Amino acid sequence: MNELQVFSELHKFLNSLGPMEFTLAPKSLTLGYKPIRFAGRRQKFATLYGEKRYNCLILHVDQGNQESKKGKMTQKEIQQLLHFDIQEIRGFTLKKNEVYIPFEVIDTKEKIEDLKDFVQEQYMIFIKR
């Protein structure tokens, strides 16, 4: 799968999770996804970055808590599942409360399905908070 296919597939999938508001950044191919809830504030769940520097899906696993280590633990989980090391692929600083999945590691249909299952699990955790 090429990176544009992965981006498109993930966009469709994220919108299928439930009522979702998404925003498009003005000067880049970056989409932010916020589940629509009837009670409480809307927090970002995921971001698809189509820019060269990032080219990845970012899951915001503990939005607003910069000191959370949940992102690091979840990052290790997805790296084991998809067999990659984010430190070897990307040089930018990682936030402790986010999970980064580069598009280029999603190179088979099996991996996209594994990723969808993983995202679905994270989404269920996210909406229960």
Per residue in 35-47, pLDDT tens?
A: 987 666 678 999 9
Domain-by-domain residue ranges, the chain? 3-128
Which CATH topology does 3-128 take?
Aspartate Aminotransferase, domain 1 (3.90.1150)
| 114 CB-contact burial (10 Å; exposed 0-12 / middle 13-18 / buried 19+) | middle
Q: What is the pLDDT of residue 34?
A: 93
> Which residues, at least 6 apart from 17, have a Cβ–Cβ distance to it below 8 Å?
35, 119, 120, 123
Q: What is the pLDDT of residue 15?
A: 94
Helix (H) or strand (E) holding 78: helix 70-82
Which stretches of the chain score pLDDT less than 50? none
Predicted model pTM: 0.91
Question: Which amino acid makes up residue 6?
Answer: V
Write the pLDDT tens digit of every residue in 47-59. Answer: 999 887 789 999 9
